Structure 1
Amino acid sequence: MQVFLIIIISLLAFSCNSQENNVSISKMGQSPVHQELQESESIKFNSQGNTIEKRFLVSGSLKRIPVGEGTFAQYLRSLPLKPHGSKVKKYNDELKYDQSVAAAVVNLPIGKRDLHQCADGIMHLKARYHFDRKEYDKIGFHFVNGFYCDFEHWKNGYRVRVSGNKTNWYKSGNKDSSQLTFWKYLEMVFSYAGTLSLAKELQPVSLNEIQIGDVFIIGGSPGHAIVVVDMSINENTGEKFLLLAQSYMPAQELHVLANFDNADISPWYSLSQFDKWVSTPEWTFEREDLKRFPN
């Protein structure tokens, strides 16, 4: 049985010195989580950085995990961010109730319908990665009822008819692989897929083998999912650090999560703090909830 805990944590400030572009946000040395960290290590924040990699910097013994050119991991690390200080918006342009959970806002569209929630945000990232590379045959997700909705069919003019428990393709128009067609496809996926279906598509992976692009996911209603968007490592000790991102309910912009359990290194998470639970601002997972896209 999956464990569902909602942690109520007092507000922690995520701030930077307005007089400098690069500000160290790491005190390093007092928290038990950081017993393996060295004084020479530094986690820095660049308010002018317009991607995850450029805004959340590391130096000293902390190095970013190497990733291959053109990989999903590189794509996530390079996700565009809105200017520092931007608020997380919901699909209707209202602000997310608790802004303290977000260290940065990802600059990607979410549409005007209440669809882009937790699993949807992750499917959006995976699909957009392949779409930008014109790898259309790699875009596809199962609905909760098991129907496989792939972009190849969609761009070739087929559409999905859902009638009760029956789902099928039907020919509707001409070939079209435009951004608008892609988004309409995503909205169809968001409407009929979710954490329950995505959890079945992903493959379990050990926390010790965690990689960028892996997903902590609990399938169900309610359920939740967050994605690893970057990683760094202490070259001296092997300790790993993660950046996590999520969308949430109601539909809202993807955002990099703050670390409420250790403000010294927020928004980075030390893998060692996940000794039993994977605690994030709005959801708590078990270590065994980590999964990976099969390709």
Structure 2
Amino acid sequence: MKALSLSYMLTFLFLQGFAQQIGNIASPAHFKRVNATAGSFSYWLRHTKLKKDNTVYLFNGEKKRNQQAQYAVLDISIGKRDLQQCADAVMRLYAEWLYAKKQYAKIVFLATDGTPMDYTSWRQGYRFVLRQQKLQRLKSTGVSDDRAAFDNYLQTVFSFAGTLSLSKQLKPVTHPDDIVAGDVFLQGGSPGHAVIVMDLAINAAGEKRFLLAQSYMPAQNIHILKNPLSISPWYSHKFGTELKTPEWVFRAGSLYRWP
């Protein structure tokens, strides 16, 4: 009962706004966070800021109908269009990390038709235009290297990419024992869904626990998911044949990684 009471107390303090980033979410008892090298994607994810308001809003400012799925809400823009949904949120986080490191040449996402949409071309004034049901790269403006141009680039990516294209870009992870922060649980297609591993902890026996984040439909705040099988938001890598999240169930073999 003592551990349970401590867990509830930590959750209460967290929801009151004392924790301002992913790394402040208390790890499970007897687990320690896995080391994250400064500058790595896992380090960046762990230091992602959180909102004090635990409410999930849609892109149009309305509250999401289901307010029971989230443990916390990331302090990242939704945008003003119904675009930043599940796969888009995963791409957004990966792109924001690379953008912060100024590794612009690595910001490339596949469109559903297989066209690589690279940010380097976008910065040079090229745009991706749909012609005869195929994306074409056309020079249409001058150098576009400010933050507004990057946001517009992401909106275009979200318009033409999704879970299916993401499943073709990412590489399968054979076994969940190998899970790392930044990995993605993904079911490509229509319907499909994607959630991203935000942080990782491990105990002396080698069991790993991880936090998951998602957006959903309609486009909404990216949020840390509750674990529907626990009072804790942490998931065990020993989930068996199915990983059950509040709004989706992933089959074993659904884990992917950025190449």
Residue in structure 2 matching 1:134, options 102, 110, 113: 102
Offset, 1:58 = 2.9
Query: Partners of 1:181 and 1:155 in 2: how far apart?
Result: 8
Say whether residues 1:288 and 2:253 are aligned partners. Answer: yes
Matches within 5 A, 1:121-200: 121-200=89-168
Offset, 1:186 = 0.4
Matches within 5 A, 1:264-279: 266-272=232-238, 274-279=239-244
Q: Is the 8 A contact 2:28 2:234 kept in 1?
A: no
Query: Partners of 2:195 and 2:6 in 1: how far apart?
Result: 26
Say whether residues 1:242 and 2:210 are aligned partners. Answer: yes
Q: Is the 8 A contact 1:24 1:45 kept in 2?
A: no
Higher Cα Rg, which structure = 1
CA RMSD of aligned residues (A): 1.8
- Relative to structure 2, which stretch is displaced further, 160-169 or 246-255? 160-169
Offset, 1:43 = 9.0
Q: Is the 8 A contact 1:50 1:81 kept in 2?
A: yes
Matches within 5 A, 1:1-295: 24-25=6-7, 46=14, 47-54=17-24, 56-58=25-27, 61-83=30-52, 85-205=53-173, 206-234=175-203, 236-263=204-231, 266-272=232-238, 274-294=239-259
Q: Is the 8 A contact 1:160 1:170 kept in 2?
A: yes
Q: What amino acid maps onto 1:100 in structure 2?
A: Q
Offset, 1:237 = 1.4
- Give the unaligned 5+ runs of structure 1: 1-22, 28-41
C-alpha offsets along residues 116-159 of structure 1, whole Å, 9 cap, x if unaligned? Answer: 00000000001111111111000010100011100000011111
Aligned length: 252
Query: Partners of 2:114 and 2:44 in 1: how far apart?
Result: 28
What is the aligned-residue identity percentage? Answer: 42
Offset, 1:110 = 1.4
Offset, 1:176 = 2.1
Q: Is the 8 A contact 1:44 1:58 kept in 2?
A: no
C-alpha offsets along residues 237-281 of structure 1, whole Å, 9 cap, x if unaligned? Answer: 111111000000000110000011111xx1111222x11100000
Offset, 1:285 = 0.4
C-alpha offsets along residues 220-239 of structure 1, whole Å, 9 cap, x if unaligned? Answer: 011000000001111x2111
Runs of 4+ in 1 over 6 A off after TM superposition: none
Q: Is the 8 A contact 1:140 1:150 kept in 2?
A: yes
Query: Partners of 1:43 and 1:199 in 2: how far apart?
Result: 34
Query: Partners of 1:45 and 1:244 in 2: how far apart?
Result: 20
- Give the unaligned 5+ runs of structure 2: none
Q: Is the 8 A contact 1:228 1:245 kept in 2?
A: yes
